[in-house]
Amino acid sequence: MHLTLRQLEIFEAVARHLNYTRAAEALHLTQPAVSMQVRQLEDSVGLPLFEQLGRRIHLTAAGREVLGYARAIAQQLDELQQVLDRLKGLAGGRLRISVATTANYVIPALLGRFSRRWPGITISLDVTNRQAVLQQLAENSVDLAIMGQPPPEADVDAAVFMDNPLVVVAPPQHALARRRVIPLARLQQETFLVREPGSGTRIAMERFFADRGIALRTGMELGSNEAIKQAVQAGLGLGLLSRATIEQELALQRLVELDVQGLPIMRHWYVVHRRGKRLSAAAEAFRTFLLADAADSSGAGAGVAPPDHSIQASPRPRKRAAPARRRH
What residues pair up with 6 in beta bridges, in sequence order? none
Name the average pLDDT for the chain: 86
Residue 321 has a pLDDT of: 39
pLDDT higher for 208 or 91? Answer: 208
Write down the pTM of the prediction.
0.66
Candidate from 85-89, 104-108, 320-324 with smallest mean pLDDT = 320-324
> Which three-class secondary structure string do you get for the chain?
CCCCHHHHHHHHHHHHHCCHHHHHHHHCCCHHHHHHHHHHHHHHHCCCCEEEECCEEEECHHHHHHHHHHHHHHHHHHHHHHHHHHHHHHHCCEEEEEEEHHHHHCHHHHHHHHHHHCCCCEEEEEEECHHHHHHHHHCCCCCEEEECCCCCCCCEEEEEEEEEEEEEEECCCCCCCCCCCECHHHHHHCEEEEECCCCHHHHHHHHHHHHCCCCCEEEEEECCHHHHHHHHHCCCCEEEEEHHHCHHHHHCCCCEECCECCCCEEEEEEEEEECCCCCCHHHHHHHHHHHHHHHHCCCCCCCCCCCCCEECCCCCCCCCCCCCCCCC
Question: What average pLDDT does this structure show over 71-86?
Answer: 81
Structural domains present in the chain: 5-76 (1.10.10.10), 89-162+268-311 (3.40.190.10), 165-266 (3.40.190.10)
- Residue 199: band (very low, low, confident or very high) from pLDDT cuts 50, 70, 90: confident
Asked if 239 and 228 touch (Cβ cutoff 8 Å), the reply is yes
For residue 55, the model assigns a pLDDT of 86
Nearest to 13 by CA among 130, 78, 104, 21: 21
pLDDT bin (cut points 50, 70, 90) of residue 255 is very high
Q: Check pLDDT > 80 for residue 237.
A: yes
Higher per-residue pLDDT: 296 or 103: 103
- Overall average pLDDT of the 166-181 stretch: 96
Going by pLDDT thresholds of 50, 70 and 90, the confidence category of residue 296 is: low
- What type of residue is 197? P
Q: What sign for the dihedral angle of Cα 26, 27, 33, 36?
A: negative
- Indicate whether 317 pLDDT > 60: no
User: What was the pLDDT predicted at 120?
Assistant: 85
Residue 229's CB: how many other CB atoms inside 10 A?
A: 21
